[in-house]
Chain A
Amino acid sequence: MSVSVGLTPGRTFEATTNFPADDDLCRWADGLSSLASVQGSWHSALLRMLVAAWLGPRARIERFSLRVPGSGLVEASLHLGAEVSEVTTTADGSARVRCGLWARSAGGQVVVEGDCEALIDPAGGPGLPIARLEAALRLGEVAGTFTYRIGLNDLEGFAAAIGAPMPSDGVAPPTYFGALDPVERRDIDLDAFLHDLPFPMTGGGNAFNAVEYERPFRAGDVITVRTRYTDVYEKRGSRGTLLFRVRVNEMRDADGALVATSRCGHVLGYRLPSEDS
């Protein structure tokens, strides 16, 4: 069966962590029992936190079990994941979700494995149809490919709009990476589905933007942008339920070289029936 938060058997969540070159790990180890395995305890606590985020705010984890099959490994990176194995309905109409859990090395060796059970809060009422939204946004797939030529007049217009110095050297201001977002440029629109949601919208806007770049844009560049939606999730906010959609734009020049990758999040707020009071 499927529950309102869009969890069905076979649904998989994954994340890859770099380890142990990480300040967070040092802070974690500080104050930890000297008897505890730093790596093992870190994996356990991190996986528990990820599972809660993956299952969404309506899920309450009741049991979380992990086994360490072998000795602790020091790995450069680990794949942490969960897969929904079973969804059942309890007597009171709640949904009980069971997930398999794992942490694997880059070579596929199991470092940690286990399972957990969570209860989906029926008092939360029907939530946002995350699974349908994921399908509408073609989550994980390339949603569109667009090519833009950057002219000096484009850069001058942009610089004037943001109050930056005119780019006499033909180098674009750093914030110009945001200008080549096909969604913001209205070259792609996969949001029509949102208009059919039967909930009043309470607001929305830009949630975050991040860019990693190899070099700046320059006048004369011909940039091809590939857009993928990578995450759709909901959170409870003070003004209702928040729907986040995250997309990644991969920007390459005419030679196919990667110039930049941007990551953009957009949020919309909804008031669900269960939040009416």
Chain B
Amino acid sequence: MEDIRRVSDRVWRMLAAGYAGVRADEDVAVTVVQPDPRRAKALRSAAAALLGREVDAPHTYVELCPDPIAFAVEAGLPAPWALSDLEAVESTWHELAPVPEGPITSISRIASVAECVAADGARLVRVEYQTRFTSMTGDTVGLAVASGIRRDEAVA
């Protein structure tokens, strides 16, 4: 993947406006997921050690999709930058219903791409990824939304 830290304004504007050609809300990536028993067990074991008691909590969407940006990119959405270059990552999980039994369909999309200029003149691009989870009956049961900011001092 191209390193854009020293790219031209033209390329920067293209990324900011279209996020490497992906149009927000139009391109989606669909996968089928299920809670991983091994990871679920590890998490409950650690929580039990911290709490000093058994934890028999049901699965959560945070457990299913603990890094929503990585999840969406792995599902097939583009990320023209290394994810570690994103700053101020904020993730929100909306739990509309308990995590259902059986396969869960995830539909990821880039919800928005916005460019702005920081007070110090640096260009910023804010990208928001959104993944919707649906049950086998097609009901939306959860939502994971995450945004990250790419700051580019080099082209400021």
Q: Is A40 an interface residue, CB under 8 A from the partner?
A: yes
A273 to B41, alpha carbons, bound, how many Å? 34
Q: List the A residue with the shortest CB-CB distance to B47.
A: A49
B94 — which chain A residues lie within 8 A by C-beta? 62-63
With both chains docked as a complex, state the minimum distance between the C-beta of A104 and any C-beta of chain B, in angstroms.
15
Q: List the B residue with the shortest CB-CB distance to A61.
A: B95
Interface of A is mostly: mixed
Q: Say yes or no: B95 contacts A27, CB within 8 Å.
A: no
Q: Is B70 an interface residue, CB under 8 A from the partner?
A: yes
Q: Say yes or no: A68 contacts B50, CB within 8 Å.
A: no
Given contacts A36-B66, A41-B66, A67-B90, 12 further A-B contacts (CB under 8 A): A15-B50, A24-B42, A24-B49, A44-B91, A49-B63, A50-B50, A61-B95, A63-B92, A64-B62, A65-B91, A231-B51, A233-B53
With both chains docked as a complex, state the minimum distance between the C-beta of B84 and any C-beta of chain A, in angstroms.
8
Q: Say yes or no: B73 contacts A64, CB within 8 Å.
A: no
Q: Is B46 an interface residue, CB under 8 A from the partner?
A: yes
Pick the contact of A30: B39, B53, B89 (CB < 8 A).
Answer: B39
The 7 A-B residue pairs with the shortest CB-CB distance in the complex, in nearest-first order = A41-B66, A27-B42, A36-B67, A36-B70, A35-B70, A48-B62, A15-B50
Q: Is A28 an interface residue, CB under 8 A from the partner?
A: yes
Pick the contact of B38: A22, A27, A69 (CB < 8 A).
Answer: A27
Q: Say yes or no: B55 contacts A37, CB within 8 Å.
A: no
A233 — which chain B residues lie within 8 A by C-beta? 53
Interface flags for A54-85 (1: CB within 8 Å of B; 0: not) read 00000011111111110100000000100000
B84 — which chain A residues lie within 8 A by C-beta? 37, 71
Known: A36-B66, A231-B53. A53 touches B42 (CB 8 A): no
Known: A35-B83, A65-B92, A231-B53. A44 touches B66 (CB 8 A): yes
A44 to B45, alpha carbons, bound, how many Å? 15
Known: A22-B46, A44-B62. A15 touches B67 (CB 8 A): no
Interface flags for B63-106 (1: CB within 8 Å of A; 0: not) read 10011001101100001000110001111111110000000000
How many interface residues does B have (CB within 8 Å)?
38
Known: A36-B66, A48-B63, A49-B44. A31 touches B39 (CB 8 A): yes
Q: Say yes or no: A64 contacts B92, CB within 8 Å.
A: yes
A246 to B54, alpha carbons, bound, how many Å? 13
A207 to B51, alpha carbons, bound, how many Å? 14
Q: Is B138 an interface residue, CB under 8 A from the partner?
A: no
A45 to B88, alpha carbons, bound, how many Å? 18
Q: List the B residue with the shortest CB-CB distance to A248.
A: B52
Q: Say yes or no: B90 contacts A46, CB within 8 Å.
A: no
For A41, A80, A246, the residue with the greatest tally of chain B CB atoms inside 10 Å of its CB is A41
Q: Say yes or no: A63 contacts B47, CB within 8 Å.
A: no
A273 to B88, alpha carbons, bound, how many Å? 47
Residues of A within 8 A of B (CB): 15-17, 22-28, 30-37, 40-42, 44-46, 48-50, 52-53, 60-69, 71, 80, 114, 208, 230-231, 233, 244, 246, 263, 265
A33 to B106, alpha carbons, bound, how many Å? 15
Q: Is B60 an interface residue, CB under 8 A from the partner?
A: yes
For B46, B74, B84, the residue with the greatest tally of chain A CB atoms inside 10 Å of its CB is B46
B50 — which chain A residues lie within 8 A by C-beta? 15-17, 46, 50, 80
Q: Is B43 an interface residue, CB under 8 A from the partner?
A: yes
A67 — which chain B residues lie within 8 A by C-beta? 88-91
Q: List the A residue with the shortest CB-CB distance to B147.
A: A67
Q: List the A residue with the shortest CB-CB distance to B62.
A: A48
With both chains docked as a complex, state the minimum distance between the C-beta of A55 and any C-beta of chain B, in angstroms.
11
